[in-house]
Each structure stands twice: as C-alpha cells, then as structure tokens.
Structure 1
Amino acid sequence: MQPPADRPTLYVNARLICPASGRDEIGSLLVDDGVIAEVGAKVAPSARAETIDCRSHVLAPGLVDLGAFVGEPGAEHRETIEAASRAAAAGGVTTIVARPDTTPPVDAPEIVDYLMRRARDTASVRFHPMAALTKGLAGNEMTEIGLLLEAGAVAFTDGPRSIASARVMRRAMAYGRDFGALICHHAEDAELSSGGAMNEGEFASRLGLPGRPTAAEAIVIERDVRLAALTGARYHASLVTCAESLDVVRRAKAAGSTVTCGASVAHLTLNENDVGEYRTFFKLAPPLRHEDDRRALVQALADGLIDVVCSAHDPQDVETKRRPFAEADDGAIGLETMLPAALRLVHSGDVTLHRLLAAMSTRPAEMLGLPGGALKAGAPADLVLFDLEAPWVLDAATLKSKSKNTPYDEARLQGRVLRTVVAGRPVYPYG
C-alpha cells in the first residue's frame, strides 16, 4: 500500500455520512498525514490544502469487504492481490479481508507473512488475510490460532468449506475464545447439499437440476450457535441466505450469544429466477434462493439482524464457467459492483443508506478490530466519494478483476464511485 499523501486535502460541499455517529449533513472534511483532521459543517479553509468540491455527493467511510477470494498464492490466473485491489478501489472498497483457501492454504504463520509482504508491494488498498481454522482446510486438526494472530491474521475460517465435525468446531471455538479471535464459518451440510447445482425447489425441478436445500444451511448454523453459547466464542456465520437461518441467528442474539452473520450483495439483490436459461454466472455457493428468502434477507438487513454485507468475491476463469450449468464452478466476482448493486436496496426504499453503509464499513471494522469505518478526527482517511444518483450500465469487459464472471453484466445500476481514498491518498481514479 502507498504511504499517506504529503499534502493535506480538504473535501468541501460533501454530504457527510457516518454510520458510527449517525452524521448526515453537508459539510467538509480535512485530511492531513493520512488521517482525518477535522470533519463537520464548519471546517476552516486551509491555504496548505488541496481543495476538492464534492458537489453534494456522498462522502463516507471506505468499505471493508469481509471474505473475498484473492488468488495468491496458487491461483493467480483467477486473481492477484494487485488486480483485486484495483477492482476494490474502483468499487469504493478500502480494505480487503481475504479468504485462506489458496494453494497452499493460509494455515501457517509464514504464509500470512508472505501475503502481508506481497500486499505491501502490490496492493493499493489495505489487505488483511484470514487464516485457516483447520490445517489444510481438511476439517480435522486445528491450526495454531495464537501464532497466526501474531503473524497478522484477523479472523479464522475454512473459506467455502464447512466443518462437519462438531467436536472439531467446539475445540476451535474454545481456543478462539481464549485469544479473542473471530471464528467465521461457511455453514452448509456437505451431505445434504452434495451434488446440488442450485436452490432446491420448483424452479430447479423445472430446469431438471439437482437442488441444495435451505435446511443444509440452517442445520449447521443451529449447531454452531449452540456451540458458540457453550464455549463463549465470537462466531460469525459468513453467508446466510434463507429465512430459516435468520430465525436461528435471531434466537441466538436474543439469548445473548456473541453471534453475528453476513449476507452477500448477490443474495440480497438476486434470486433463483435470475438463473434463467442455465446462466452459469448466477451459479453461486450458497445458491441464489427463492424470492421470499431474498426479501427476508433484505428485511433482516434493514432491522440490523444482518451485521455485514460483503461482496463474496469469487473469481472464476472462462473455462470453469463455460460448461453445462451443473458442471460449472460456483462463484462470481463482486468487489467492483458491491456498492452500486447494493444501492438498489436504498433506491427501492427497503434499506436506509446509513444502515447499508454500517454493514459495509463500520460493523465489519468493529468486528475485526480494524481502524476505520467512521468519519471522525484521528480516524484513518479511508474514504469513498460516490454519486448516489448516477445511472449507468455495467460492461463486464471494463471491470478491473482478472476474471469477468459477474452476474451484473449489462445490468442497469444507479450510483457510482467517483473517488476512493486510502490513508489520505487517492487510489481511484487511477493517476
């Protein structure tokens, strides 16, 4: 990542939105030495500072994307840290939190150190690795949580793999609790969902495709929240996709467990019908669900039950997507489209802009213990400036990711990133 900007920058005439404080006003923000020096309706002009007129566009904390797949090491043909960071910057994401399911997986301190060094050399945004929860992502033996935390890991997960053994999961949670570590889990019973290509239901039957039931997700989350209550661990269900899972999380939170959950932008804005005529760019894991489940997710986000909205960025190359639907690999890219796609929920009146930005910046930063996620003096100057109303049509060929497997190709979107700032230095548009 680049060093802070040398010259102060004063952003004037901005709609300042800070989910952490509830701020929503027209005002100014002064950046000096990589941090926010002043913010509010009355910030004195500075002769030293470069002045940028925001023209009443939204200036908010930069987004923190929890759980993106970045191909290094081992899958650089799908994505690199450099390409992912450029895509992130174009989407207003100032912090990438990367999954550990690389080759080799991030299950040892030296691999965490390697990734941190690679990020320092090639990333234009902040980059933090998550470490594997079990060695080799095999679900059998725990990793050295303490050593991995010391090396720089910010959370623990087996990525897209679900840990089948309740005994292993309990031990991992108990050790994670002792270190204050966040345990993230992809909740899906592998046996129940085995061979499934999309959401189980009438639409899958009409297409002649095997289904993956919502019960496969809810059952594992039910087990996990009980283990979290038993151990006192900090547990995060990485992706909830159905009403059944939301009911489990709601009960766990009401009982006082330290349980959180996330949802992807795709599951909040798309449903199983978007698969249409076997469109493989809509083949995700977990799969897109019924419209009733999507609406339940949106309501849960509006109510604050869903803590985090993420991109679920999962690049795939052309060869793995240009196959019959049942044989195509799961996954879609999402770093660059995360904010504009999510703004559909704001324009529809289903979710407030404050609530959305809280789930995309403030809350994930809090959960991971990262600085940022707020517009306040002394906070890192990680910012996104965006036009809330700008209409545009997405052309996948222009996306910065190495892979182009987006479900939003040719979609009409409203809201576009104008400027992304990390440590006071603009990283988008590119100089």
Structure 2
Amino acid sequence: MTTLLIRAARVIDPASGRDETADIAIDNGTIADLGANLDAAAADRVIDADGLIASPGLIDPHVHLRDPGQERKETIATGTAAAVAGGFTTVCCMPNTAPAIDTPTTVRGVLKRADETAACRVFPVAAGTVGRKGEAPTDVWGLIKAGAVGISDDGDVIASAGMMATVLSLVAEVGTVFMQHCQEPSLTRGAVMHAGAVSTRLGLIGWPRVAEEIIIERDIRLVAVGGGRAKYHVQHMSSGGSVDLIRRARDAGLPVTAEASPHHLLLTDDLVAGESGQAFDTHAKMNPPLRERSDVDALRQAVADGVVTVLATDHAPHTPDEKAEPFEDAPFGIIGLETALGGYATALVETGAIDWPRLIALLTIEPAKLCGLDARGLGSLVVGGPADVTLIDPTTKWTVTEDDLAGRSRNTPFLGMELTGRAVATIVRGKVACSRHQAASSA
C-alpha cells in the first residue's frame, strides 16, 4: 500500500538530471516508485500536483536555531517550523549558541533535542575553536564522529592566520568542510552598515567591502599552501570583490565554494535610509551588511556563472525588544527560512539569471554535497531514497505578512514585499510536515 502519491508534478531532480512530468509514490518514509501513471487506487492519500514542481526537499546549510541557551529568540522546534513553512526539509544549525556547540556532548545534545522536537532534519555545524574564541582548536574528529556535518566559528571569524591554518589542517585530515564568517574585526569596529554614500549621509559608521575580502584572500592562500586539501566555504558572501576572489580560486582548482543569501541578492543599503519604508529600520541591519546595487548584480552573475554554488538563508532570529533598540545598538541579523524560496526565485529566476532546475540544484544537491549529506541520500529523488519532497508553485505571487512567519521571531525586511514562487507542501520522511496546497484527496 502506498501511503502518499504525488500525481502529475513536474519532477525536477538536478542530481539525476530528471525534469519531466511524473508521479511519486511514497511508502514508509522512502520513495517507493517514480514514473508516469502510477496506481492512485493503491494510495492512502493523493496530492494532485498538476502545475507544481516536485523537488528534492530543500536544504539550508546555514541557519541559527539559537538552541541551546538563546531560546527566547528561537528553538529547534520553532526554527524547524519556520523551515518546513518555507519548503526546507533539512537545516544545518550554526554553533554560536550558549554554550557553543564545541564538544561531542553538545553536538549529541542538539541531535537529541532535534529528534524529540524538530519538524525537519537537523544537523549541527560545530565550532572550529573552543568557545568560538579563536584561541585553541576543537576536537574536529570527535565533533564529526558525534554527528556534526561541518566546522565553523560562524558569528565570528577565526582572526589568527596561524589558528586558521591549524583548523584547516584538521578539517583536511577529517575530510569535512570549514565554513568561514569573513570579517576582519579591526576594520569593522563600531560599523553598523555598508561603507558608502548612504552611511555617510546617515552619519553611521560604515563596514567596508575589504573587511570581507581580506579574510577570503588570506584563507584562499592558506588553502593553497596546505596543498588544496581542505574544503573551504565562504558564508553569506556580500561583495563583488569577493566574487572575483572566489572565481579565481575555483579557476585554480582549489576546493573553495561560496554561498549567497536572499537579502544580498535582492536588497541594497538604500533600505537603511528608508527608501522603501522606515529609515533606520533595524530589520535592514545584518552581518555582512546590505551593500550596493553593483554588489547585488555581481552576486546574481556569480550564481549564473556557477561561482556561487550554494544558497543559504543565514536565518538569524532576534526578539522584538532587541530589534526595537536604536539602529546602532540593535543586533545584526534577520530571519529568512519562510521567505527564502520566493526571494531566490524573484531575484534569480524572474530576472532570467538562472532557471528553476538550477535554482533547485543550488538548494538541494549542492548543499547536500557541501555537508556530506548526499551520502545519506539527501538532495535527490531516487527510488529507495528518503522521501523528502518539496512541492513548489513557481508562478504564484504573494505578499509577505506576519501570518506567513512560523518561527518565534519576526525580524524580516521582507514584510509587505511581493515575491514570486512559493513552497506549497513540505514532505519530511514521507509525511506532510506543512501544506498550504488544497488539491489533495483520499484514494
């Protein structure tokens, strides 16, 4: 007996090159069959997906679930509720928690809480240095063995070149990936937004592009000096100059990748000045900051050219009280899981930069490969594989409201914005975790 049948979807699976109208039969948490005209009478439930895309479950390799220690902002339960509302079936959570995810015990604790409360799959990314202080390396092998899928001090950079070289060596030995938050701290002291004409006009301390670029350039050289053995990934790339550095590194054959986030592909620093709403809106304050139109264009081109191989939200919840502080004092960060797919489609597909199959690759098999999740069958749709599926309406236009936000926090600059493309059903381990799609029936 088939538990669930998805009927007449446009099945896009970049991992296998599949792009065709087909049915998907799901049973016992796995894909039982995939093809045309499967037997609907044998299914407990049928979803009519005519006009929809059926994608492998979306994967976000960069989210902040704030658990442990910052549950007032988000929890594993609320953060994964936001994830499935946005079409994500897997998220990788960052280690800037309290305490930091820097021991095998804390990794196992996150996995245990996820097993008990999460609406989707959760994999921790563990810290590269003890306490994320940049002073002593963690037990990288022990962290990966405990279940971490990558290493990062995200929220902070590893500022010491010597320590960075040590961590890269450990990452290479274990065969995992290091994800860098690229920010030279001495160049960003007191900075709250991009350094440019807008920051000058507003009288705010600016955050120069070079603060990101100098770390990327340093780390690429360290990867090269280490023989190109360590996988190195740039998080939330924001600068056109950074794009050039990543392009050259990849052309040289180094194992260097980079991600882009929805806000850096859609928004500019004009938002801080109130061009589209309220001036000094703290929902326009994030790290790295929104930059200029030339940077947005460079990032979109980087996605089109294959320089950016992964898309990630950097979902960063904060409480309303924190974001109600004056602009200079409010914390950096915005949420993104619920709005990401529409943001990406609006920025990249609607503009003609890429097509839907490429967008889906950037959200499925590419992040799966980055974190080694492809070895677990994630990021693809194959018979016998995990039944993680996202159903997408690629043409629907929708305006973001607070009712669309399923997590604990509301700190997004996308409220009131019209986006194109949306997840209408999210299936995790063969079960519908979230649905706004009405065309379903019982067989």
TM more than 0.5: yes
Q: Which residue of 2 aligns with 1:409?
A: 415
Q: Which residue of 1 aligns with 2:338?
A: 336
Q: 1:424 aligns with which of 408, 430, 438?
A: 430
**Residues 323, 397 of structure 1: alpha-carbon distance in 2 compared, 3 angstrom cutoff:** farther
**Residues 43, 304 of structure 1: alpha-carbon distance in 2 compared, 3 angstrom cutoff:** farther
CA distance in 1, matches of 2:404, 2:216: 38
Letter in 1 for 2:243: L
Displacement of 1:55: 1.9
CA contact (8 A) 2:78 2:408 kept: yes
CA distance in 2, matches of 1:226, 1:379: 39
CA distance in 1, matches of 2:305, 2:29: 34
Q: Which runs of 4+ in 1 moved over 6 A?
A: none
CA distance in 1, matches of 2:403, 2:87: 19
Where do 1:20-35 residues align within 5 Å? 20-35=15-30
CA distance in 2, matches of 1:262, 1:329: 22
CA contact (8 A) 1:396 1:406 kept: no
1:369 matches 2:366: no
Displacement of 1:56: 2.0
Letter in 2 for 1:417: A
1:184 matches 2:179: yes
Q: Secondary structure at 1:94's aligned position in 2?
A: strand
Displacement of 1:351: 2.0
CA distance in 2, matches of 1:130, 1:234: 14
CA contact (8 A) 2:188 2:211 kept: yes
Q: Which residue of 2 aligns with 1:239?
A: 236
Q: Quick check: 368-377 or 164-173, which moved more?
A: 368-377
Q: 1:395 aligns with which of 397, 401, 411?
A: 401
Structure 1: gaps (5+ residues): 1-5
CA distance in 2, matches of 1:194, 1:242: 19
Residue deviations 1:216-246 (CA, integer Å, cap 9, x gap): 1011000111111222201111121111111
Residue deviations 1:333-377 (CA, integer Å, cap 9, x gap): 011111111110212222211121111111000111113111222
Q: Which residue of 2 aligns with 1:324?
A: 326
**Residues 74, 429 of structure 1: alpha-carbon distance in 2 compared, 3 angstrom cutoff:** same
Displacement of 1:388: 1.2
Displacement of 1:426: 0.7
Q: 1:91 aligns with which of 78, 86, 93?
A: 86
CA distance in 2, matches of 1:127, 1:362: 16
CA distance in 2, matches of 1:251, 1:234: 16
CA distance in 2, matches of 1:36, 1:163: 42
Q: Quick check: 281-290 or 32-41, which moved more?
A: 32-41
Q: Which residue of 2 aligns with 1:166?
A: 161
Displacement of 1:49: 4.8
Q: Quick check: 272-281 or 217-226, which moved more?
A: 272-281
CA distance in 2, matches of 1:32, 1:366: 26
Q: Which residue of 1 aligns with 2:356?
A: 353
Q: 1:216 aligns with which of 201, 211, 214?
A: 211
Letter in 1 for 2:53: V
TM-score by length of 2: 0.93
Q: 1:36 aligns with which of 31, 44, 48?
A: 31
CA contact (8 A) 2:31 2:385 kept: yes
1:114 matches 2:117: no
Structure 2: gaps (5+ residues): 438-443
1:17 matches 2:20: no
Letter in 1 for 2:349: V
Q: Which residue of 2 aligns with 1:299?
A: 301
Letter in 1 for 2:310: V
Letter in 1 for 2:197: E
Q: 2:250 aligns with which of 247, 250, 253?
A: 253
Letter in 1 for 2:295: D
Number of equivalent positions: 426
Letter in 1 for 2:294: D
CA distance in 2, matches of 1:348, 1:99: 31
Q: Which residue of 2 aligns with 1:3?
A: none
Displacement of 1:208: 1.1
Letter in 2 for 1:206: R
| RMSD of Structure 2 on Structure 1 (CA) | 1.5
CA distance in 1, matches of 2:320, 2:328: 15
Q: Quick check: 61-70 or 42-51, which moved more?
A: 42-51
**Residues 25, 7 of structure 1: alpha-carbon distance in 2 compared, 3 angstrom cutoff:** closer
Displacement of 1:416: 2.2
Q: Quick check: 172-181 or 372-381, which moved more?
A: 372-381
Q: Quick check: 237-246 or 127-136, which moved more?
A: 237-246
Displacement of 1:418: 1.3
Q: Which residue of 2 aligns with 1:382?
A: 388
Letter in 1 for 2:366: R
CA contact (8 A) 1:25 1:41 kept: no
Where do 1:69-80 residues align within 5 Å? 69-80=64-75
Residue deviations 1:377-422 (CA, integer Å, cap 9, x gap): 2221111112111122111254111110011011112222211001
Displacement of 1:430: 8.8
CA distance in 2, matches of 1:30, 1:393: 33
CA distance in 1, matches of 2:118, 2:2: 22
CA contact (8 A) 1:388 1:414 kept: yes
Residue deviations 1:287-315 (CA, integer Å, cap 9, x gap): 00110001100011111110111111000
TM-score by length of 1: 0.96
Where do 1:269-280 residues align within 5 Å? 269-275=266-272, 276=274, 277-280=279-282
Residue deviations 1:68-122 (CA, integer Å, cap 9, x gap): 0011111000000000111101100000100000000001111111111100100
Displacement of 1:44: 5.0
CA distance in 2, matches of 1:302, 1:32: 37
CA contact (8 A) 2:57 2:88 kept: yes
Displacement of 1:41: 3.7
CA contact (8 A) 1:26 1:56 kept: no
Q: Quick check: 263-272 or 368-377, which moved more?
A: 368-377
CA distance in 1, matches of 2:409, 2:48: 35
